[in-house]
Amino acid sequence: MSERKPPVKLEPAQRTQLVDVQRRLFLRSGLTIGAMSMLSGCNLEDGDQVDKVLWAMSRWNDKVQAWLFSGQRLAPVYSEAKLTRPFPFNAYYEETDVPDIDLSDYRVEVSGLVRDKQNWTLEDLRRLPQRSDITRLICVEGWSAIGQWGGVPLRTFLEHIGADLTAKYVAFKCADRYYSSIDMPTALHPQTLLALDFGKVALPPQYGYPLRLRVPTKLGFKNPKHIGAIVVTNEYPGGYWEDQGYNWFSGI
Protein backbone atom coordinates (compact mmCIF):
# COMPACT_ATOMS: atom_id res chain seq x y z
CA MET A 1 0.00 0.00 0.00
CA SER A 2 1.36 3.41 -0.91
CA GLU A 3 1.99 6.17 1.58
CA ARG A 4 0.65 9.67 1.08
CA LYS A 5 3.41 12.16 0.44
CA PRO A 6 2.36 15.69 1.35
CA PRO A 7 4.16 18.49 -0.54
CA VAL A 8 4.38 20.28 2.81
CA LYS A 9 5.07 18.11 5.83
CA LEU A 10 3.21 18.96 9.00
CA GLU A 11 4.98 18.48 12.32
CA PRO A 12 3.36 15.73 14.47
CA ALA A 13 2.12 18.39 16.89
CA GLN A 14 0.55 20.40 14.06
CA ARG A 15 -1.04 17.25 12.71
CA THR A 16 -2.56 16.49 16.12
CA GLN A 17 -3.77 20.07 16.33
CA LEU A 18 -5.34 19.81 12.87
CA VAL A 19 -7.13 16.59 13.80
CA ASP A 20 -8.35 18.26 16.97
CA VAL A 21 -9.60 21.31 15.07
CA GLN A 22 -11.32 18.98 12.63
CA ARG A 23 -13.07 17.12 15.44
CA ARG A 24 -14.21 20.30 17.18
CA LEU A 25 -15.38 21.87 13.96
CA PHE A 26 -17.36 18.81 13.15
CA LEU A 27 -18.99 18.62 16.56
CA ARG A 28 -19.86 22.27 16.45
CA SER A 29 -21.01 22.81 12.93
CA GLY A 30 -21.01 19.47 11.15
CA LEU A 31 -18.37 20.91 8.84
CA THR A 32 -15.15 19.25 7.82
CA ILE A 33 -11.95 21.23 7.92
CA GLY A 34 -11.97 21.29 4.11
CA ALA A 35 -15.37 22.94 4.08
CA MET A 36 -14.29 25.31 6.81
CA SER A 37 -11.17 26.39 4.99
CA MET A 38 -13.18 26.96 1.85
CA LEU A 39 -15.53 29.16 3.79
CA SER A 40 -12.85 31.10 5.58
CA GLY A 41 -10.66 31.40 2.50
CA CYS A 42 -7.86 30.12 4.71
CA ASN A 43 -4.82 28.74 2.96
CA LEU A 44 -3.87 25.59 4.86
CA GLU A 45 -0.34 25.74 3.59
CA ASP A 46 1.63 25.28 6.77
CA GLY A 47 1.34 25.00 10.54
CA ASP A 48 0.72 28.72 11.06
CA GLN A 49 -2.44 28.33 9.04
CA VAL A 50 -3.87 26.03 11.67
CA ASP A 51 -4.05 29.06 13.94
CA LYS A 52 -5.88 30.91 11.22
CA VAL A 53 -8.44 28.10 11.03
CA LEU A 54 -8.97 28.40 14.77
CA TRP A 55 -9.38 32.12 14.34
CA ALA A 56 -11.73 31.60 11.43
CA MET A 57 -13.88 29.36 13.60
CA SER A 58 -14.85 32.37 15.64
CA ARG A 59 -16.32 33.89 12.51
CA TRP A 60 -18.13 30.79 11.40
CA ASN A 61 -21.54 31.93 12.54
CA ASP A 62 -22.06 34.63 9.93
CA LYS A 63 -20.18 33.18 7.03
CA VAL A 64 -21.17 29.53 7.34
CA GLN A 65 -24.79 30.25 7.91
CA ALA A 66 -25.01 32.64 4.98
CA TRP A 67 -23.45 30.01 2.76
CA LEU A 68 -25.25 26.95 4.04
CA PHE A 69 -28.63 28.56 3.67
CA SER A 70 -28.03 30.34 0.40
CA GLY A 71 -29.37 27.30 -1.46
CA GLN A 72 -26.60 27.49 -4.04
CA ARG A 73 -23.62 26.87 -1.80
CA LEU A 74 -21.15 27.94 -4.44
CA ALA A 75 -17.50 27.54 -3.60
CA PRO A 76 -15.61 30.86 -3.52
CA VAL A 77 -14.12 32.02 -6.82
CA TYR A 78 -10.98 34.12 -7.19
CA SER A 79 -9.37 36.58 -9.59
CA GLU A 80 -6.55 35.59 -11.96
CA ALA A 81 -4.15 37.55 -9.76
CA LYS A 82 -4.68 34.94 -7.04
CA LEU A 83 -3.65 31.94 -9.15
CA THR A 84 -1.02 29.77 -7.41
CA ARG A 85 2.15 29.45 -9.45
CA PRO A 86 3.65 26.96 -9.71
CA PHE A 87 0.65 24.79 -8.97
CA PRO A 88 1.39 21.82 -6.68
CA PHE A 89 1.23 18.28 -8.00
CA ASN A 90 -0.15 15.48 -5.86
CA ALA A 91 -0.86 11.80 -6.39
CA TYR A 92 -0.18 8.53 -4.61
CA TYR A 93 3.04 8.32 -6.67
CA GLU A 94 5.85 10.64 -7.74
CA GLU A 95 5.44 13.17 -10.54
CA THR A 96 7.83 11.13 -12.75
CA ASP A 97 5.28 8.29 -12.72
CA VAL A 98 2.35 10.28 -14.15
CA PRO A 99 0.50 7.99 -16.61
CA ASP A 100 1.36 8.35 -20.24
CA ILE A 101 -1.89 8.43 -22.21
CA ASP A 102 -2.11 8.00 -25.96
CA LEU A 103 -4.78 10.36 -27.25
CA SER A 104 -5.26 8.47 -30.51
CA ASP A 105 -7.11 5.68 -28.76
CA TYR A 106 -8.35 7.62 -25.75
CA ARG A 107 -12.07 7.25 -25.01
CA VAL A 108 -14.13 7.80 -21.90
CA GLU A 109 -16.32 4.78 -21.20
CA VAL A 110 -19.79 5.40 -19.82
CA SER A 111 -21.78 2.74 -17.98
CA GLY A 112 -24.43 2.10 -15.36
CA LEU A 113 -27.74 3.92 -15.11
CA VAL A 114 -27.50 5.85 -18.39
CA ARG A 115 -29.50 5.75 -21.60
CA ASP A 116 -26.59 6.34 -23.98
CA LYS A 117 -23.52 4.17 -23.30
CA GLN A 118 -21.40 5.34 -26.20
CA ASN A 119 -17.74 6.10 -25.54
CA TRP A 120 -16.60 9.72 -25.64
CA THR A 121 -13.59 11.27 -27.34
CA LEU A 122 -12.11 14.57 -26.19
CA GLU A 123 -13.51 16.26 -29.30
CA ASP A 124 -17.00 15.03 -28.40
CA LEU A 125 -16.59 16.56 -24.95
CA ARG A 126 -15.33 19.86 -26.39
CA ARG A 127 -18.50 20.13 -28.47
CA LEU A 128 -20.62 20.38 -25.31
CA PRO A 129 -21.10 23.76 -23.55
CA GLN A 130 -18.06 24.70 -21.44
CA ARG A 131 -17.51 26.58 -18.23
CA SER A 132 -14.43 27.81 -16.40
CA ASP A 133 -13.88 28.76 -12.75
CA ILE A 134 -10.96 29.92 -10.63
CA THR A 135 -11.29 27.98 -7.38
CA ARG A 136 -9.23 26.59 -4.52
CA LEU A 137 -8.14 22.96 -4.41
CA ILE A 138 -7.71 21.81 -0.82
CA CYS A 139 -5.72 18.68 -0.02
CA VAL A 140 -6.27 16.86 3.28
CA GLU A 141 -2.52 16.81 3.71
CA GLY A 142 -2.64 20.47 4.69
CA TRP A 143 -2.06 22.57 1.59
CA SER A 144 -4.30 24.38 -0.83
CA ALA A 145 -3.82 26.17 -4.13
CA ILE A 146 -5.88 28.32 -6.46
CA GLY A 147 -6.23 27.24 -10.06
CA GLN A 148 -8.43 27.69 -13.08
CA TRP A 149 -10.18 24.70 -14.58
CA GLY A 150 -12.39 24.67 -17.65
CA GLY A 151 -14.55 22.00 -19.19
CA VAL A 152 -18.02 20.53 -19.39
CA PRO A 153 -20.26 20.88 -16.34
CA LEU A 154 -20.81 17.30 -15.18
CA ARG A 155 -24.53 18.09 -15.04
CA THR A 156 -24.56 18.97 -18.75
CA PHE A 157 -22.76 15.71 -19.52
CA LEU A 158 -25.06 13.58 -17.37
CA GLU A 159 -28.15 15.17 -18.91
CA HIS A 160 -26.71 14.64 -22.38
CA ILE A 161 -26.16 10.90 -21.88
CA GLY A 162 -29.58 10.44 -20.28
CA ALA A 163 -28.21 9.51 -16.87
CA ASP A 164 -30.64 8.63 -14.10
CA LEU A 165 -30.29 11.86 -12.11
CA THR A 166 -32.02 10.23 -9.16
CA ALA A 167 -29.21 7.66 -8.85
CA LYS A 168 -27.05 7.94 -5.74
CA TYR A 169 -23.51 8.06 -7.09
CA VAL A 170 -21.29 9.01 -9.97
CA ALA A 171 -18.05 7.03 -9.96
CA PHE A 172 -14.79 7.60 -11.83
CA LYS A 173 -12.06 5.16 -12.83
CA CYS A 174 -8.66 6.51 -13.76
CA ALA A 175 -5.78 5.53 -16.01
CA ASP A 176 -3.60 4.96 -12.92
CA ARG A 177 -5.03 2.78 -10.14
CA TYR A 178 -7.01 5.69 -8.76
CA TYR A 179 -10.78 5.82 -8.46
CA SER A 180 -13.30 7.95 -6.61
CA SER A 181 -17.00 8.77 -6.44
CA ILE A 182 -19.36 11.59 -5.55
CA ASP A 183 -22.99 11.97 -4.53
CA MET A 184 -25.50 13.00 -7.20
CA PRO A 185 -26.27 16.47 -5.73
CA THR A 186 -22.55 17.26 -5.97
CA ALA A 187 -22.42 15.84 -9.49
CA LEU A 188 -25.20 18.25 -10.47
CA HIS A 189 -23.61 21.26 -8.71
CA PRO A 190 -22.96 24.07 -11.22
CA GLN A 191 -19.23 24.26 -10.40
CA THR A 192 -18.58 20.51 -10.77
CA LEU A 193 -16.69 20.11 -14.04
CA LEU A 194 -15.33 17.41 -16.28
CA ALA A 195 -12.23 19.51 -16.76
CA LEU A 196 -10.36 19.52 -20.06
CA ASP A 197 -8.37 22.70 -19.48
CA PHE A 198 -6.07 24.00 -16.79
CA GLY A 199 -5.67 27.78 -17.03
CA LYS A 200 -5.90 28.57 -20.72
CA VAL A 201 -4.41 25.30 -21.99
CA ALA A 202 -5.35 21.63 -22.26
CA LEU A 203 -4.73 19.81 -18.96
CA PRO A 204 -1.00 19.14 -18.64
CA PRO A 205 -0.06 15.47 -17.91
CA GLN A 206 0.62 15.91 -14.19
CA TYR A 207 -2.65 17.75 -13.58
CA GLY A 208 -4.85 15.04 -15.00
CA TYR A 209 -4.49 14.88 -18.78
CA PRO A 210 -6.64 14.41 -20.70
CA LEU A 211 -9.68 14.64 -18.39
CA ARG A 212 -10.17 15.18 -14.66
CA LEU A 213 -13.00 15.90 -12.31
CA ARG A 214 -12.91 19.33 -10.72
CA VAL A 215 -15.17 19.61 -7.67
CA PRO A 216 -14.45 22.80 -5.71
CA THR A 217 -16.94 21.82 -2.98
CA LYS A 218 -14.89 18.72 -2.10
CA LEU A 219 -11.38 17.99 -0.91
CA GLY A 220 -8.60 17.40 -3.43
CA PHE A 221 -8.69 13.61 -3.31
CA LYS A 222 -12.26 13.70 -4.66
CA ASN A 223 -10.95 15.30 -7.88
CA PRO A 224 -9.83 12.24 -9.88
CA LYS A 225 -7.35 12.84 -12.70
CA HIS A 226 -6.83 10.84 -15.94
CA ILE A 227 -10.46 9.70 -16.06
CA GLY A 228 -11.08 6.65 -18.24
CA ALA A 229 -14.56 5.61 -17.17
CA ILE A 230 -17.67 7.15 -15.63
CA VAL A 231 -20.32 5.04 -13.91
CA VAL A 232 -23.74 6.15 -12.68
CA THR A 233 -24.85 3.77 -9.93
CA ASN A 234 -26.82 3.16 -6.75
CA GLU A 235 -24.12 0.84 -5.38
CA TYR A 236 -21.56 2.56 -3.16
CA PRO A 237 -18.39 2.81 -5.28
CA GLY A 238 -15.91 4.06 -2.64
CA GLY A 239 -12.56 5.40 -3.73
CA TYR A 240 -8.80 4.96 -3.48
CA TRP A 241 -8.37 7.02 -0.28
CA GLU A 242 -11.98 6.62 0.82
CA ASP A 243 -11.43 2.85 1.08
CA GLN A 244 -8.40 3.52 3.31
CA GLY A 245 -10.45 5.43 5.83
CA TYR A 246 -10.74 8.95 4.46
CA ASN A 247 -14.22 10.38 4.89
CA TRP A 248 -16.19 9.63 1.73
CA PHE A 249 -18.22 12.86 1.72
CA SER A 250 -15.28 15.20 2.37
CA GLY A 251 -17.04 18.34 1.30
CA ILE A 252 -20.09 20.45 1.75
Residue numbers at the binding site for Mo ion (CB under 5 A): 139, 220-221
**Distance of closest approach, residue 88 Cβ to ligand MTE, in angstroms:** 5
Residue 171: Cβ-neighbour burial (10 angstroms; 0-12, 13-18, 19+): buried
Whole-number Å distance between alpha carbons of 218 and 169: 15
The answer to whether the Cα torsion of 17, 249, 215, 94 is positive or negative is positive
Whole-number Å distance between alpha carbons of 164 and 148: 29
Report the partner that residue 226 touches, choosing among ligand MTE, Mo ion, none (CB closer than 5 to 8 A by kind). ligand MTE
Taking the mean position of all CA atoms in its chain, how far away is CA 23? 22
**Distance of closest approach, residue 143 Cβ to Mo ion, in angstroms:** 8
**Distance of closest approach, residue 69 Cβ to ligand MTE, in angstroms:** 29
Q: In whole angstroms, how far apart are CA 174 and each of 28, 29, 89, 142?
A: 36, 34, 16, 24
**Distance of closest approach, residue 62 Cβ to ligand MTE, in angstroms:** 29
**Distance of closest approach, residue 152 Cβ to ligand MTE, in angstroms:** 18
Pairing of β 109-112 and β 227-233: parallel
Report the partner that residue 148 touches, choosing among Mo ion, ligand MTE, none (CB closer than 5 to 8 A by kind). none
Report the partner that residue 176 touches, choosing among ligand MTE, Mo ion, none (CB closer than 5 to 8 A by kind). ligand MTE
C-beta of 57 vs 237, nearer to ligand MTE: 237
Report the partner that residue 207 touches, choosing among ligand MTE, Mo ion, none (CB closer than 5 to 8 A by kind). ligand MTE
Give residues in contact with ligand MTE (CB under 6 A).
88-92, 137, 139, 174, 176, 178, 207, 220-221, 223-226
Of 197, 82, 76, the C-alpha closest to 145 is: 82
Report the partner that residue 187 touches, choosing among Mo ion, ligand MTE, none (CB closer than 5 to 8 A by kind). none
